[in-house]
Amino acid sequence: MIVSVTKKIILFSLLLLVAIPLYAQTNDIQRAKVLEVIKEEKSVILEEFSKGGIESLNQALSAEIIDGAEKGKQIKLENDYIKLEKGDVFFVEKGELDGQEIYSVKERDRQIPILLLLLMVSKDFDLSCH
């Protein structure tokens, strides 16, 4: 019973690995790599709602699109979502604001670590369908 549930979890996870890039293709989301952290500063927000406020990290980044229609394009963007460092690969969404292209950080690219984890787990189980 446990092996059957584990097989289903592994197969579902593998489907997600395929679905994420497919979703990204339909929503103008591409993978990018941080070339440089141009500026990084901390600020305190929501002081009026929380004693001492909440610390927020803001970054100005230079990145290169590494797949999709704009592969090779270098972009600059602001990030207040997750801390990124030089060399990090992440998903970026292209949008438009007042007639100008804007890019926003969506999420860190975790496809390779997830795949490695699945491979480590799956080698302990027989994944053949009986």
- CA-only gyration radius of the chain, Å: 19
Q: Domain count of the chain?
A: 1
Residue 86 sits in which domain range? 2-122
**Distance in angstroms (rounded) separating the CA atoms of residues 111 and 96:** 27
* Rounded average pLDDT per 10-residue block, the chain, 130 residues: 61 62 61 96 83 88 94 95 94 90 89 77 59
Asked if the structure places residue 117 within a domain, the reply is yes
- The reported pLDDT for the residue numbered 10 is 67
Asked if the structure places residue 95 within a domain, the reply is yes
100-104, Cβ contacts within 8 angstroms, sequence gap of 24 or more: 102/77, 103/32, 103/63, 103/75, 103/77, 104/77
**Distance in angstroms (rounded) separating the CA atoms of residues 10 and 33:** 28
Asked if the structure places residue 83 within a domain, the reply is yes
Asked if the structure places residue 53 within a domain, the reply is yes
Pick from 121, 102, 125: nearest CA to 113: 121
Asked if the structure places residue 128 within a domain, the reply is no
Q: Can you give the CATH number for the domain in which 99 is found? A: 2.40.50.140
Asked if the structure places residue 72 within a domain, the reply is yes
- The reported pLDDT for the residue numbered 25 is 44
Asked if the structure places residue 130 within a domain, the reply is no
Asked if the structure places residue 17 within a domain, the reply is yes
Q: pTM of the predicted model, to two decimals? A: 0.66
